[in-house]
Amino acid sequence: MTVLGFLSRRLSAAVLILLILSLVIFLLQHVSPGDPARAYVGANASPETVAAQRQALGLDDPLPTQFFRFLGGLFTGDLGRSLRTRQPVTADLATYLPATVELVVTAFLLALVLAALYALSGALRWRGGSVGRGVLLLLATAPPFLLALVGIIVFFGQLGWLPNRGVGDFQDPGPFGMQALDTLLHGQTDAYLDALRHLVLPATVLAIAPAVAIGRVLRSSLQSVLDVDYVRTARAKGLRESRVVLTHVLRNAIGPALSMGGLQLGVMFAGVVVVEQVFSWPGIGNYLAASIPVADFPAIAGVTLVLGAIYVLSNVAVDLLQAVADPRIAAE
């Protein structure tokens, strides 16, 4: 099977998974105790007003009709209207999602760097590497909210090095809605550095556990590949250890780490809700947290679908990278 056929098979499976997720979310809406019509018109509305709103929202239609209307809205980008903000959910997501993407991408890149250091220091037995790995393992055992609170107390309260919340004072959202990227594009050095300072604590908290998970898998893969015959032959030719690892070992050991990386990226998008709450980060985590208490189901469903789509597509991308790194995978 070619890489193109492998990709089409993975995309077909991804579409099926997203359809099943849509069905589950739709059914959860109808078994939940909240009344969307009552939430939309307010608790003090008369029964007649609630009934009229139910009819306007199509809640009295047969269940299959409602599902296909819900599904049709997904294909056209219509996720409904938020009962809390009274705005289309897609508009709300366009406002809040860029900040979340900025935070998660920064945290993921940081996690990859930490994972590489964790794996290489263990596989190549760097001096002092065990201390760094021990610190990372210890930090990874703590829940993210506790790490966030300790980080705020130490680096904001005691040392005063880093801010404790928000994204900075940059007012113009720019073309991407991401403070660090937009300030860089605007050439505003002070605002860019301020954006990075606001990113350090939440990104680090979000990155530590995935870094350990990816690093442990990569370290195990590196250690197994370092013992094979062709690596010993490369060493016998007099090649430096760093060149042996980068040229002969890493590509053959990267597959399991890629799988773990895709899994951890999805976990980071799910775990960002807690981190955004602690640091008052204006992303979809805060949007979701504000929507749950008022039973704003369109907003909850929209965020869930977006996170589910990101998780599924990130794993498709990882599968494709694995197939490129090892063509035998695409042939299976």
Instruction: Please report whether residue 9 resides in a domain.
Output: no
- At residue 235, the pLDDT reads 65
Is residue 193 located within the same domain as residue 274? Answer: yes
Is residue 46 located within the same domain as residue 122? Answer: no
Choosing from 59, 78, 97, the residue where a domain stops is 78
Which band of pLDDT confidence, cut at 50, 70 and 90, is reported for residue 230?
low
- At residue 163, the pLDDT reads 81
Task: Look at the chain and report how many structural domains it folds into.
Answer: 2
Measured at the alpha carbon of residue 305, what is the angle toward residues 77 and 14, in degrees to the nearest 5? Answer: 95
In this structure, the number of other CB atoms found within 10 A of the CB of residue 291 comes to 24
DSSP codes of every residue in 19-64: HHHHHHHHHHHHHSS--HHHHHH-TT--HHHHHHHHHHHTTTS-HH
pLDDT tens for 302-318 read 888 888 888 888 877 77
Is the pLDDT at 260 greater than 70? The verdict is yes
Is residue 59 located within the same domain as residue 114? Answer: no
Is residue 95 located within the same domain as residue 49? Answer: no
pLDDT tens for 267-295 read 888 778 888 888 888 888 888 888 888 77
Is residue 71 located within the same domain as residue 192? Answer: no
- At residue 2, the pLDDT reads 66
Are 314 and 265 a contacting pair, CB within 8 Å? Answer: yes
Residue at 222: amino acid letter: L
Q: In the predicted model, what is the mean pLDDT of residues 216-244?
A: 71
Instruction: Please report whether residue 20 resides in a domain.
Output: no
Instruction: Please report whether residue 42 resides in a domain.
Output: yes
Residue at 174: amino acid letter: G
Is the pLDDT at 330 greater than 90? The verdict is no
For 37-41, 136-140, 217-221, which range has the lowest pLDDT when averaged over its residues?
37-41
Instruction: Please report whether residue 24 resides in a domain.
Output: no
Instruction: Please report whether residue 5 resides in a domain.
Output: no
Is residue 51 located within the same domain as residue 169? Answer: no
Is residue 102 located within the same domain as residue 184? Answer: yes
Which residues make Cβ contacts (< 8 Å) with residue 246, sequence separation at least 6?
none
Are 142 and 157 a contacting pair, CB within 8 Å? Answer: no
Q: How buried is 229 (Cβ within 10 angstroms: 0-12 exposed, 13-18 middle, 19+ buried)?
A: exposed
Is the pLDDT at 1 greater than 60? The verdict is no
C-alpha to C-alpha distances, 220 to 208, 225, 267, 315, nearest whole angstrom: 18, 9, 21, 21
pTM over 0.85: no
Angle, helix 189-225 to helix 129-140, in steps of 10 degrees: 110
Is the pLDDT at 265 greater than 70? The verdict is yes
- At residue 72, the pLDDT reads 82
Instruction: Please report whether residue 3 resides in a domain.
Output: no
Half-sphere exposure of 101 (CA within 13 A, CB side): 15
> CA end-to-end span of the chain, whole Å?
7
| Three-class DSSP labels, 136-204 | HHHHHCCCHHHHHHHHHHHHHHHCCCCCCCCCCCCCCCCCCCCHHHHHHHHCCHHHHHHHHHHHHHHHH
- At residue 110, the pLDDT reads 93
Q: In the predicted model, what is the mean pLDDT of residues 209-226?
A: 84
- At residue 168, the pLDDT reads 62
Is the pLDDT at 174 greater than 90? The verdict is no
Is residue 268 located within the same domain as residue 134? Answer: yes
Domain of 195, in residue numbers: 89-330
Is the pLDDT at 173 greater than 60? The verdict is no
Instruction: Please report whether residue 13 resides in a domain.
Output: no
Q: How buried is 12 (Cβ within 10 angstroms: 0-12 exposed, 13-18 middle, 19+ buried)?
A: exposed
Is residue 192 located within the same domain as residue 318? Answer: yes
Query: What are the beta bridge partners of residue 281?
Result: none
Choosing from 16, 50, 78, the residue where a domain stops is 78
- At residue 13, the pLDDT reads 82
Which band of pLDDT confidence, cut at 50, 70 and 90, is reported for residue 329?
low
List the CATH number of the domain containing 249.
1.10.3720.10
Is residue 73 located within the same domain as residue 94? Answer: no
Instruction: Please report whether residue 31 resides in a domain.
Output: no
Choosing from 21, 50, 78, the residue where a domain stops is 78
Half-sphere exposure of 226 (CA within 13 A, CB side): 17
- At residue 217, the pLDDT reads 87
Is residue 94 located within the same domain as residue 199? Answer: yes
pLDDT tens for 74-113 read 788 788 888 788 888 888 888 888 888 889 999 999 999 9
- At residue 238, the pLDDT reads 63
Is the pLDDT at 154 greater than 80? The verdict is yes
Return the structure tokens found at 252.
Answer: 């053959």
Contacts 24+ apart (CB under 8 A), 124-132: 124/241, 124/245
Are 165 and 275 a contacting pair, CB within 8 Å? Answer: no
pLDDT tens for 25-59 read 888 777 776 667 766 666 677 777 777 877 777 77
Phi, psi of 160 (to 5 degrees): 70, 25
Is residue 69 located within the same domain as residue 94? Answer: no
Helix (H, G, I), strand (E, B) or coil at 283: coil
